[in-house]
Amino acid sequence: MDKGLSLKDVRISKGGVPLLSITHDINPGEVLTVMGPSGVGKSTLLAFITGTLAPDFRAKGEVWLDGNNITHAAPHKRRVGILFQDDLLFPHLSVGANLAFGLQPGGNAAERLTKIEEALDEVGLSGFAVRDPATLSGGQKARVALMRMLLSEPCGLLLDEPFSRLDAALRAQVREMVFDRAKARALPVLMVTHDADDAQAAGGEIVTLGG
């Protein structure tokens, strides 16, 4: 089986009422944008893929990632990264500790520290490791959240309205950064959004649910 994220005949329903159904293959480095009005179940689809679907939903179908069927894998073993519209940095950890949380175990302390510094350098936040995340600007937080996710070496990337809290100027900048990094690492990306600009910028296929 080849690389990428595949949704095979995924059907999600709530209380017997069908919510959405989707079949799609996302190749490495490609973006699939799922659009639709709120309440149509876009985030539910992502929850199904991450393995955190609420118990009142029923789901059928399979999710394959890089040739593995992860439909029933434990959530923390799926290697699916996710970014939400809120940065959701852990408020009790420093910026560096947040990144260390994402960084896979292995290496001695100095090596890990170097990796974290490099990650911060990459997004123009050198020297931010000791900062309290609450003191960062919106754009800075978004960059830390992105690097934290990438350090966990995911095989696929989910984006849940990831840019909707950022103002227009920052938005394009952060968006470009996220898509560039995903492409550089050859990650299949599934983005849900209701924003046409985001969908356009993603440059991939667009699927519209409901409506």
List contacts with other proteins (CB under 8 A).
47, 50-52, 54-55, 74-82, 84, 86, 88, 90-92, 94, 101-102, 104, 132-135, 148-149, 152, 154, 158
Detail the DSSP E strand segments found in the chain: 5-14, 17-26, 31-35, 57-65, 68-69, 80-83, 156-160, 189-193, 205-208
State which residue, 84 or 206, has the beta carbon closest to other proteins.
Answer: 84
The Cα 178–Cα 191 span in angstroms is 11
What does the block give as tokens for 51?
A: 């393995």
Closest C-alpha among 114, 112, 139 to residue 126: 114
To which H or E segment does residue 142 belong? helix 138-151
State which residue, 13 or 152, has the beta carbon closest to other proteins.
Answer: 152
Least spacing, CB of residue 137 vs other proteins, in Å: 13
Q: 146 near 177, Cβ under 8 Å?
A: yes
Residue 208 CB neighbour total at 10 angstroms: 12
Least spacing, CB of residue 62 vs other proteins, in Å: 19
Least spacing, CB of residue 80 vs other proteins, in Å: 6
Residue 176 backbone dihedrals phi, psi, to 5 degrees: -60, -45
Least spacing, CB of residue 115 vs other proteins, in Å: 15
State which residue, 23 or 104, has the beta carbon closest to other proteins.
Answer: 104
Q: Which residue has the tokens 């840019």?
A: 163
State which residue, 33 or 98, has the beta carbon closest to other proteins.
Answer: 98
State which residue, 50 or 71, has the beta carbon closest to other proteins.
Answer: 50
Least spacing, CB of residue 81 vs other proteins, in Å: 5
